[in-house]
Amino acid sequence: MRDLGAGFGHLLKGQRWVARHGKSYGFGLLPGLITLVLYAAALIGLALWGTDFVAWATPFADDWSSPWPGLFRGFLTAVMFALALLLAVLTFTAVTLLVGQPFYESLSERVDRDVSPDGTAPESNLPLWRELWISGRDSLRVLARAAVWGVLLFALGFIPVVGQTVVPVVGFFVTGFFLTEELASVALQRRGVELRDRLALLRSRKMLVWGFGTPLGVSFLVPFVAVFLMPGAVAGATLLARELLGEETRDGADDRSDGGCADPAVSPGPAPAR
């Protein structure tokens, strides 16, 4: 239970960090807004033409007596839309991180410098194209794992009582785990931690991971909330990654606002040598 509270604490600390650094927060909203527009267009299209698609995919139901075709197709349409929403929650973070990779990496580095006792941050020293490739590749591998869980939970959802009570709760914890992996990957990938090792690291502290990711996943179900929480979620995941790796973190991160100092995350100056 202590780890649950610690994980949630990292989430809150991340939000407080970006609240104190207005420029970082403002630029951090842009990738989420771009991704939100794309996802909203896809979901609106599904809502408008989903019924027609289900009818096209189930011609065998045309010969059924009324009202079974309508009930059956209505159920499939609802399930398809619910799965699309779940997939949107699971993939929103990955797509947003990919779109905003350069910024979020800089934001994560700044958090590291703020809380590190010696004021330094690990650097990947990889070219940007290589970081984007690794991030995209790993996101697809994580999505494949999440999809397996999604299919399993969907099947278990048909079990009476359990499917309507236990399965949704398990679904939130699964979502929280994979959300945390995607967010923490910004800091862990910069430290050279491969996907398999990242997953093993997260599994070793499941309560900590669930404390961070599960409430975040629940909040992401509320429209537009994910956009506004993403910058703070990346900052909080950086703090969580430091705890997972046992790195020393000084108390009291930089409390200065952006108005008083330049923000390396958005500075037009030269990027660190790679």
Return the pLDDT at 177: 93
User: Higher model confidence: residue 214 or residue 77?
Assistant: 214
* Cα–Cα dist 135/82, whole Å: 27
Is residue 185 situated within a structural domain? yes
Residue 221 scores a pLDDT above 60: yes
Residue 259 scores a pLDDT above 80: no
Mean pLDDT, the chain, as a whole number?
A: 82
Return the pLDDT at 223: 67
Return the pLDDT at 167: 85
Helix segments in the chain, DSSP class H: 2-20, 22-57, 68-99, 101-115, 128-156, 162-190, 195-203, 206-220, 225-244
Count of structural domains within the chain: 1
Contacts of 194 (CB under 8 A, 6+ apart): none
Residue 70 scores a pLDDT above 50: yes
Return the pLDDT at 271: 38
* Percentage of residues of the chain with pLDDT beyond 70: 91
Q: How confident is the model at residue 240 (pLDDT cuts 50, 70, 90)?
A: very high
pLDDT digits 0-9 by tens, 107-126: 899 999 999 888 888 877 77
Residue 264 scores a pLDDT above 50: no
Is residue 164 situated within a structural domain? yes
Is residue 257 situated within a structural domain? no
Residue pair 249/116 in contact (Cβ under 8 Å)? The answer is: yes
Residue 172 scores a pLDDT above 60: yes
Is residue 244 situated within a structural domain? yes
Is residue 76 situated within a structural domain? no
Is residue 80 situated within a structural domain? no
Residue 227 scores a pLDDT above 60: yes
Range in 50-59, 83-92, 141-150, 166-175 the model is least confident about: 83-92
* Cα–Cα dist 173/188, whole Å: 21
pLDDT digits 0-9 by tens, 71-112: 888 888 888 887 787 777 767 877 888 788 788 888 899 999
Return the pLDDT at 261: 41
* Cα–Cα dist 145/141, whole Å: 7
Residue 58 scores a pLDDT above 60: yes
Q: How confident is the model at residue 207 (pLDDT cuts 50, 70, 90)?
A: very high
Torsion, CA 37, CA 42, CA 47, CA 50, rounded to 10: 180
Residue 274 scores a pLDDT above 80: no
Is residue 180 situated within a structural domain? yes
Show the domain range for 114. Answer: 2-38+85-248
Contacts of 151 (CB under 8 A, 6+ apart): none
Is residue 104 situated within a structural domain? yes
Residue 16 scores a pLDDT above 90: yes
Residue pair 14/236 in contact (Cβ under 8 Å)? The answer is: yes
Return the pLDDT at 199: 93
